[in-house]
Amino acid sequence: MGLEETIKNRYSFSLAETYKWITCINQGMNKTLPDAELRTMLFCMLRNSKAISFDLHEVALFRARYLENPESPFTKASELMAPPKEVVSKYGRCNQPNQSVFYGANNIPTMFAEMRAQKGDHFQYFEFKGLKNTYIRAGFVGLIDHYRRYNSIPPLFGEQSKDLEEKIKVIQAQLSKEEWSKMLLVDAFLADWFRKRIPSSDNLDYNVTAAFTNYHFEQPVEALVYPSVAHLGGWNLAIKPEISLEKFTVMSGGIFRLDEDLGYGLYNASAIKSVDTISSSGIEWHS
């Protein structure tokens, strides 16, 4: 049975069908599929799986932009936020062309690694955190895969780790053996694609993770956490741009100069300027 017939006649792939289509995607089939069809395929894989979400409110995240000249930093906070969709011409890890997504990293080394920072580079950054008394519903790519491999929840979650561990155990108990195996397979498959290095000359391979993010954002979910490609053990975050504006606040900011890149995610950097205040009129710096 071909893909179109399978999608037309079934709303959920079996474990065997899921494995077959994952193998096809891993062999390059994704390059031939329209975004809508790829999204539908992922829907059929995920059908009957149980969603696991958590509150992103207490998780700090970092976002930076490269500075050509540290004496001429960006003057408006909006310049470090998600770009307007009109300037987004290519696929990204979590976005399709003409789609704006706010990207961040869970710590500074991951931020440097994702920026492909080199010795002597300057970066202007913000540290963000969720506003008090807000709930930011986030999903997590690779959470179940991480728990399966290491029997632990990533430290990113703090006090929520215990609750997430219990959620995984409850879901496993609720699902049949085949549905649980399919959920493990799909999460491992997606985590692998989110960790996949995509050459800039062939960014069409981003269509798998971008299609999943689009599917994910159509659910009552506002953000997605996924494993970093560049920094082993680091995590990145993709957030709906309107949520980044409505539910996050800037905790700190400044300019870093990268003094040394030792490899393996080890960096030495100097903070050469720090933000004093941020207002509608612009960014003020400590003297």
| pLDDT of residue 6 exceeding 70 | no
Edge to edge, what strands does the sheet with 235-239 contain? 53-55, 137-140, 223-227, 235-239, 102-105, 61-67, 122-130, 248-263, 266-279, 282-285
CA distances from 211 to 12, 77, 228 (A): 17, 29, 18
Instruction: Say if CB 29 and CB 206 are below 8 A apart.
Output: no
Q: What's the pLDDT score for residue 51? A: 74
The distance in angstroms from the start CA to the end CA of the chain is 68
The Cα–Cα gap between 264 and 246 comes to 35
The percent of residues in the chain predicted with pLDDT above 90, rounded, is 71
CA distances from 232 to 113, 114, 138, 241, 275 (A): 10, 11, 21, 26, 29
What is the tens place of the pLDDT at every residue in 260-282? 999 999 999 999 999 999 988 89
Which pTM was predicted? 0.90
| pLDDT of residue 118 exceeding 70 | yes
| pLDDT of residue 75 exceeding 70 | yes
Q: Give me the half-sphere count of Cα atoms (radius 13 Å) on the Cβ side of residue 79.
A: 15
